[in-house]
Amino acid sequence: MTSDLQTFVPRPDRPPPADSAGVAAWIRKNLFSDIPNALMTLLGAYIAFTVLSAVLNWALFNAVWSADTRRECLDAVGRAGACWPGVAIWFENLIYGLYPKDQVWRINVGFLALILWMVPLWIPRVTSKIGIGLSAVMLYPFLASYFFLGGDKGVVWTGLIALGLTGFVIVWATALTETLQAKTAGAWLIDALGRANAEEKMQTRIRLLAVLAIFLLACLAVWSVSFTEVRTRFWGGLFLTLVISGIGITFSLPAGIMLALGRRSNMPVIASLSTIFIELFRSVPLITILFMFNTMLPLFMPAGTEVNQLLRAIVAVCLFASAYMAEIIRGGLQAIPNGQYEAAHSLGLTYWQTTSQVVLPQALKIMIPAIVGNFIGLFKDTTLVSIIGLFDLMNMARAIGEDTNWLGLFIEPFFVVSLIYFVFCFAMSSYSIGLEKKLATGRDTG
Amino acid sequence: MTSIPELSDKTKQRGKLSRAIYDARIRSAIIQALTLFTVVALLFWLTRNTMINLQARNLSAGFGFLDVSAGFGIGFTLIPYKEGDTYLRVFAVGIMNTLLVAVVAIALSTVFGVLVGLARLSTNWIIAAVARSYVEIIRNTPLLLQIIAWYFGVFNLLPRPRQSMEITGGFVLNNRGFYLPGPVVEAGFTLWLGILAVSVIGAIALYIWAARRLERTGQSFPAILTGLGIVILVPLLAFLVLGSPLSWDMPELKGLNYVGGITVPPSFCALIVALSAYTSCFIAEIIRSGIQSVSKGQLEAAGALNLPANWTLRRVVMPQAMRVIIPPLISQYLNVTKNSSLAIAIGFPDLVSVWMNTSLNQSGRAIPIVAMTMGFYCAVSLSVSAVMNIYNKRVQLKER
Amino acid sequence: MKRILLTGAALAALNATPVFAQETLATVEERGILNCQVGLPTPGFYALAEDGTWSGMDVDLCRGVSAAIFGDPDKVEYQSVTSAVRFTALANAESDMLSRTTTWTAVRDTQLGLDFTTVNFYDGQGFLVPADSGITSALELDGGVICVLTGTTTELNLADYFRANEMSFTPVTNENVNVLVETYLGGGCDAYTNDKSGLAARRSAFPSPDEHILLPETVSKEPLGPVVRQGDDAWANLVRWVIFGMINAEELGVSSENVDEMATSTDPNIARLLGSEGNIGEGLGVKPTFMIDVIKMVGNYGELYEKHIGANTPIGIPREGTLNALWTEGGIIYAPPFR
């Protein structure tokens, strides 16, 4: 019986017509659909070709790759090709500034620690991502400060560095247990000790003890290593750029939230003070703020206070960035419908509960692309610290052209610096676009 | 505002004073008073330190140096300036130059930004791709580097004065600058200006009348076309009738350089191109997101009503897109003004370069100079944002 | 909590009496480091190598002062500061001395809270033009576009020179020499003006140096020397006499090579200089034999000159017959006697 049953086999799809598939069709459809389009295509291709060939000729085909002085380069190709050896010799300086060469590994380890700290954020099975992210922002700077600065550490600083180290250990412990066992490190520890059925208080006590133990071990570890001091005057290059913009963004997020809340507050004094601060710092160019802090901060302080140059630049960048961040956050806050506030209010939540539990989580989620954009802007803006004389990427590039052997080498270092900036900014903006798309899912995008 | 705390027995027992602390209004007053006190104390402390430090270091914070002769040359000035003029004059020159850069760059970047924004939405793959890579490359490199790149990559590579590119009618381009014929005012010019003003006012009046009539009767009138006709044709006729009350001073090669006419230095050109290119990327993105923010349903509805294409654009898409476009656009305009301070990198004499750098350097008066510079930028930004806030309030959707 | 702390700090500070660092020498000794302000790297005077070390004529003055105080020329920390903020940085006590080709002028000396110690290099402003332009004198530059470093006396001298000769010019300014040089090489200006010491060095780095000529005119006086804060005469004296010591050493034939033999010399002038007779160091707050350290570790004036900017260096400014020769050889490098 059943053997007679014919199964329905659909006939295979017919291939699309030859002129609507394949490379040729794509080209026809997208590039030469009509005459103006074809002209535009040719024009676009021509522009792309001219620019690319000029740059490639200079940077690659006509370039000099080995020479001892700029004179040798000039004698070989004149100015038709780039002179790379000078940049190559100084390349390490472009990245690390004047940081002592034998200590450079500390910078590498410091940034490696940050990357390792962030890795769990990309592991899908890790659940405490917010905690990890927050710890990276709050605790990592202490750890990094000692790697970068070194020197004598007092009791307090030792404690703080150990706190950073503790944070790092706990983050990875959590990441490991969550990936392998699908439970937090604390829960895993309690299970391992066989106290899963113990009282809540007992469990908390065990967790605290464990943290304390790690902290003490970390203190011991920190106490036993010591790095030589590298004063901030030797910091420079990409490293300095990253430090300034990193601190700027870390500081500006909480400060920006406070300012934005202040501006929307219904206490007139607070609202007007926040508004004045935000508008003042947003209305002047960063370069004037940097200038002011550089020349005038020492005047504002009591006589004899030494404020180092890097700190002045960082203070200026932080204040500037917080004013901008405040406006971004305010935009986010405004996007939260009134209904949310009213609902929270009707549940009897206090102002701070409403803000921290209901409004900010929603606002920050909307604002993430803008915050990343702000960070890119800040990263680019740090080029301005070169104008007050810090040896960031720009000034380091300039120093190459003042080296007696490479006197006048100017275009090449700038080309490399531009590339470095582009790679970083492009990576960040692509990440931000990806993030935007990911966050946009589930919302009506019509 | 704040919630009413659950009144436990403990709280009930507390006195009036402690209840006052929990009163939202009193608490808010206390917080504000404390904040105000802290801020005032901080400001007082800073000022006092500054005074003491200035005295101890034999520095003067006064404005007495403003009428001292500056003694240095400035490469490009809108108002007459000689080396022997005062610092105050230098300040004015700097302000004029900054404003000029801002205005020109804003105009160019808007035009270019709209074009690139539309190109990014183009169906031609290569155009969209070129537009996209343009935006990505320019947006992700610091402006400071771009200004330098334009200056050396383009304007410094132009031919030297003796091999200048002579574009017709007294327009000359070489690596010392862009030379234009300069207008020379002759008799009758004021009268012509009056006619121009009248025709512009007439065109505006016509537009208003047409708009009112449209509202009242629904009959349309091609006011923009007619208005343009009036603004162009009437002054043109008047110009011919009055016998060309304007003559042109042509630049010509004399000695080392071109003399006469208007000279635009290469640093200005590089700054304008770099600023416009940079800002146009951001504007392009703003325009693109603005247009994309208008939902498809609106277009379909307009189609269903059989509105002509240009009406759909003018009456349906643009008003809605503008609401999204305007606020970020304004902050871009303010950014242009602030970013023009990067002129210092190629030595265009804008306010920061000529005032906060050269003058500060030559006179050594850091405090008054930095204060005046910041004061100028604040004044510009605050007045623009004030105007824009008013506009913004008018176009924003009203929520409840 | 934070607010209370801040208020407390503000109130406490209001009552504190300010302390002025009049005693720069004591501060430096206590710190163990001399803070020396130089400019952005410039070959010959304050050059930066890729290993982060500074060298040059002006840098060696700081090393000399360090040697005088600590007996070690390398207890110096260099601050590289743009010319725009150099005087404020010094006045703000961020550095102990400024040693960076700074021209001594009346306004700077009297109105900015600064004190010029002495002159260690006499420079003068000149013009560089392309040889094929046919220009042979600065007086032919009427109507020209001139590239000039901003924020320096160079910029003022240029304007003065053209005004005095009733000529007009358009300045192309920048604070980065390399930008100006690129502009000039690209033909963006008719002439490039700077101190002649700088012009020679830059020209040697041009693609074809022979195609550019230095015009004969010297349009300004540029006495360059280290600067200290006003109001600490003892410190100014120390800096000044370290330089005078270096000049006297050259005059007396004491160099880094023979200073040990000379230490026992019976020539009273040398004996006083090297501290075996008299006690000049005491009045300066350093040990009597401080000049032995300075000369041994850094060198005498002539040695510095030949090492950093002399004819055999890439900078290549011959010394004979210029203002910077010793007064005994026709120049004006002249130091008051060590007695």
- Interface check A391 vs C, CB under 8 A: yes
Contacts of B350 in chain A (CB under 8 A): none
**So what's the pLDDT on residue B15?**
63
Domain-embedded: residue C14:
no
Domain match, C154 and C115 both: no
Contacts of A395 in chain C (CB under 8 A): 40
What is the extent of the structural domain holding C28?
Answer: 24-122+224-329
pLDDT-based confidence at residue B325 (cuts at 50, 70, 90): confident
Backbone φ and ψ for C328, nearest 5 degrees, come out as -75, -15
Q: In whole angstroms, what is the distance from residue B37 CA to residue A218 CA?
A: 42
* Min distance A118 CA to chain B CA atoms (Å): 24
Hey, of C172, C180, C230, C233, which one would you mutate to test binding to chain B, going by the most B CBs within 10 A of its CB?
Answer: C172
Closest chain B residue to the Cα of C133, Cα to Cα: B256
Contacts of B385 in chain A (CB under 8 A): 279, 283
Q: CB contacts < 8 Å between B and C, how many?
A: 144
Contacts of B3 in chain A (CB under 8 A): 348-350
For chain C, which ranges sit under pLDDT 70?
1-22
Q: Between A194 and A267, where is the model more confident?
A: A267
Domain match, C133 and C216 both: yes
Domain match, C252 and C293 both: yes
**So what's the pLDDT on residue B54?**
79
Q: Which residues contact B243 (CB under 8 A, 6 or more apart)?
A: B188
The two tokens of residue A292 are 């002011």
Q: In whole angstroms, what is the distance from residue A262 CA to residue A120 CA?
A: 34
Question: Could you state, in order of their start, the residue ranges of all structural domains in chain A?
Answer: 1-61, 70-99+236-441, 100-229
Helix (H, G, I), strand (E, B) or coil at C119: coil
Radius of gyration of chain C (CA): 22
Contacts of A403 in chain C (CB under 8 A): 41, 43, 47-50
From C202, C220, C238, the end of a domain falls on C220
Examine the pLDDT at B9 and tell me if it is beyond 70. Answer: no
**So what's the pLDDT on residue A439?**
67
Question: Could you state, in order of their start, the residue ranges of all structural domains in chain B?
Answer: 17-56, 87-181+262-395, 182-249
Contact B141 A300 (CB under 8 A): no
Contact A303 B56 (CB under 8 A): yes
Contact A283 B143 (CB under 8 A): no
Dihedral (CA of B275, B278, B280, B285) sign? negative
Contacts of C48 in chain A (CB under 8 A): 98, 399, 402-403
**So what's the pLDDT on residue C56?**
92
* Min distance C77 CA to chain A CA atoms (Å): 9
The answer to which of A162-176, B16-30, C3-17, C303-317 has the lowest mean pLDDT is C3-17
**Contact (Cβ atoms closer than 8 angstroms) between residue C111 and residue B364:** yes
Domain match, C183 and C195 both: yes
**So what's the pLDDT on residue B396?**
64
**So what's the pLDDT on residue C11?**
39
Number of structural domains chain C divides into: 2
From C205, C220, C235, the end of a domain falls on C220
Smallest Cβ–Cβ distance between A31 and the set B124, B152, B339 belongs to B124
- Interface check A446 vs B, CB under 8 A: yes
| Topology of domain A70-99+236-441, CATH | MetI-like fold (1.10.3720)
Smallest Cβ–Cβ distance between B73 and the set C18, C133, C159 belongs to C159
Q: Among residues B95, B390, B328, B382, which one has the least CA distance to residue A283?
A: B382
Smallest Cβ–Cβ distance between A93 and the set C21, C50, C207 belongs to C50
Contacts of C12 in chain B (CB under 8 A): none
- Interface check C211 vs A, CB under 8 A: no
**So what's the pLDDT on residue B398?**
56
Closest chain C residue to the Cα of A74, Cα to Cα: C207
Q: Tell me the pLDDT of chain B averaged across its residues.
A: 83
pLDDT digits (tens, 9 = 90+) for B130-169: 888 888 888 888 888 899 888 888 888 888 887 878 777 7
Contact A402 C177 (CB under 8 A): yes
Helix residue spans in chain C (DSSP H): 2-15, 24-31, 57-70, 86-91, 106-111, 153-164, 177-185, 196-204, 233-252, 259-262, 268-274, 280-284, 290-297, 301-308
**So what's the pLDDT on residue B1?**
43
Examine the pLDDT at B3 and tell me if it is beyond 60. Answer: no
Smallest Cβ–Cβ distance between A300 and the set B50, B129, B140 belongs to B50
CATH number (domain holding residue C299): 3.40.190.10
Contact A403 C49 (CB under 8 A): yes
Strands C34-38 and C97-98, bridge-based pairing:
parallel
Contacts of A71 in chain C (CB under 8 A): 205
**So what's the pLDDT on residue C223?**
93
Contact A422 B141 (CB under 8 A): yes
Chains in contact with B, where contact requires at least 3 CB pairs less than 8 Å apart:
A, C
**So what's the pLDDT on residue B117?**
87
Task: Say what the ipTM of the complex is.
Answer: 0.80
pLDDT digits (tens, 9 = 90+) for B100-131: 999 999 999 999 998 888 888 877 777 788 88
Contact B346 C174 (CB under 8 A): yes
Smallest Cβ–Cβ distance between B370 and the set A286, A288, A411 belongs to A288
**So what's the pLDDT on residue C15?**
38
Q: How far from C248 is each of C254, C258, C298, C307, C336, CA to CA, in Å?
A: 8, 15, 14, 18, 8
**So what's the pLDDT on residue B231?**
82
- Interface check C320 vs B, CB under 8 A: no
Contact C156 B72 (CB under 8 A): yes
Chains in contact with C, where contact requires at least 3 CB pairs less than 8 Å apart:
A, B
Domain-embedded: residue C339:
no
Q: Which residues contact C52 (CB under 8 A, 6 or more apart)?
A: A93, A98, A99, A100, A234
The answer to which of B223-227, B313-317, C8-12, C59-63 has the lowest mean pLDDT is C8-12
Closest chain A residue to the Cα of B37, Cα to Cα: A269
Contact C145 B256 (CB under 8 A): yes
Maximum Cα–Cα distance across chain B? 97
Contact B364 C163 (CB under 8 A): no
Contacts of C317 in chain A (CB under 8 A): none
Domain match, C255 and C276 both: yes
Contacts of C150 in chain B (CB under 8 A): 347, 353, 357-358, 361
Hey, of A282, A306, A352, which one would you mutate to test binding to chain B, going by the most B CBs within 10 A of its CB?
Answer: A282
pLDDT digits (tens, 9 = 90+) for C199-258: 887 888 888 888 999 998 899 989 999 999 888 889 999 999 999 999 999 999 999 999
Contact B72 C159 (CB under 8 A): yes
B87-181+262-395 is classed in which CATH architecture? Orthogonal Bundle (1.10)
% of chain A surpassing 90 pLDDT: 16
Three-class SS string for chain A? CHHHCCCCCCCCCCCCCHHHCHHHHHHHHHHCCCHHHHHHHHHHHHHHHHHHHHHHHHHHHCCECCCCCHHHHHHHHCCCCCEHHHHHHHHHHHHHECCCHHHHHHHHHHHHHHHHHHHHHHCCCCCCHHHHHHHHHHCHHHHHHHHHHCCCCCHHHHHHHHHHHHHHHHHHHHHHHHHHCCCCHHHHHHHHCCCCCCCHHHHHHHHHHHHHHHHHHHHHHHHHCCCCCCCHHHECHHHHHHHHHHHHHHHHHHHHHHHHHHHHCCCHHHHHHHHHHHHHHHHCCHHHHHHHHHHHHHHHCCCCCCCCHHHHHHHHHHHHHHHHHHHHHHHHHHHCCHHHHHHHHHCCCCHHHHHHHHHHHHHHHHHHHHHHHHHHHHHHHHHHHHHHCCCEHHHHHHHHCCCHHHCCCCHHHHHHHHHHHHHHHHHHHHHHHHHHHHHHCCCCCC
From C164, C196, C220, the end of a domain falls on C220
Hey, of B140, B275, B387, which one would you mutate to test binding to chain A, going by the most A CBs within 10 A of its CB?
Answer: B140
Domain-embedded: residue C13:
no
- Interface check A18 vs C, CB under 8 A: no
C175: Cα separation from own chain's centroid: 18
* Min distance A303 CA to chain B CA atoms (Å): 6
- DSSP for C11-44 reads HHHHHPPP-----HHHHHHHHT-EEEEE-S-BTT
Contact A298 C201 (CB under 8 A): no
Spatial strand order in the sheet of B177-180: B165-167, B171-174, B177-180, B262-264
